[in-house]
Structures are given as structure tokens and as C-alpha cells.
Amino acid sequence: MVAGGAAAGHLQVGDVITSVDGTPVTSATTLTGLIKAKPAGTALTFGYTRGGAPGTTSIAAKDDKGTPRVGISIKENQPSPITVSISLANVGGPSAGLMFALGIVDKVEPADLTGGLKIAGTGEIDEDGKVGIIGGIDHKMVAAKRDGASVFLVPAGNCAEALDHQVKGLELVKVTTLDDALHQLETLRAHGTPTACTR
């Protein structure tokens, strides 16, 4: 909680924010987006739970150089019965998000996601499963082909760049979400035609 922030006296450390103006808060990204969606000074109704009891409060976000802020620090805890630990040397940044997510699905699901194909890919992934653009895709495609991949999952926003640096023998498959990536893999396993990258 930021001293003197708009939320001071309204929210407390440990409160779980459940909604903003009636829209459910499912992630930190959603909460930030809801706060920024209206001009600073607009009264927003925050739903929350405190000690297990629900409550609501009205907070008018303050302007911080053109950005509405309420003065809270967000800690995100997604309830899940599964604990995941990933340790991989020399990986920095968010580019491996999609492939980590697919790796986790592959571990918990009985089906083989790739059907024996050697598949590579890249892409940021957010709490809602949306796949975002990344940098350096040309280098990643070269490395994927070098390591024997025949298919490369490409974030939709990177498709034009990937086509500009296309690597011979590497099929470029466009993906927009984690669910979409799973669907494309299912299509590949069934020897169908996945969604190709286009400009």
C-alpha cells in the first residue's frame, strides 16, 4: 500500500480484490487494465474480501503523469492444486512462456502433444493465455531448425517478421492463445493443415 495513495483508508494489505465496477478481477493484468480504463478522478467501485468477508469501497484513481493509479502493490496468487517449478539455465525474458506452458500441459495430460513431431516455438504468455510478440524471432527460427525442428509456433504478431526471415524446411504456424496452440498441435497430430503465418 502506497502511503498517501488513493486507496489509503479504503483497502488494506492482504485484501483480495475481486472486482472493479462489477467486472471480475481474474489477474493482475486485468486489475491494472480496469483501473487504467477510465480517466483519473473517476470513482471506481472495488469489490474485495478481507479476512474471508466480502466488502466494497469507492476509490477515485489519482493521476500519475497521465496514468490513473490507486496506490497499491499487487501480488498475484492463482489458486491451484498443482505446484510447478521450472529451472532452465541461460533463459531470460518472457519469450519461452508459451513453450513452458505447453510443456506443463504435456506433463499433466496423458496424450502426447506433438505426436512424435519435433516442434519448436516462442511467445510471451499472459495470465489469460494470450500469446504476445517477442524479439529476435529470426535467430530463434535458425536455432530451432539447427536442432531438428520441422514446425515453429509463431505469435500472430510476429508472423510478418518470421516470413521475412523464413528458414527452409521450417513450417510456420500462427498461434494467438494457449488454447489455439493446443488446437494447432492437435491438427498437426491428425496430419491436418494448421493455421499458417500470413502477412
Question: Can you say whether the dihedral through the CA atoms of 125, 89, 184, 182 is positive or negative?
Answer: negative
Cβ burial of 128 (10 Å; 0-12, 13-18, 19+) is exposed
The residues that are catalytic are: 95, 140
Cell numbers standing for residue 68: 490513473
Alpha carbon distance 100, 129 (integer Å)? 12
Alpha carbon distance 173, 150 (integer Å)? 11
4: left (phi over 0), alpha (psi -120 to 50) or beta: left
Contact 170, 144 (CB under 8 A): yes
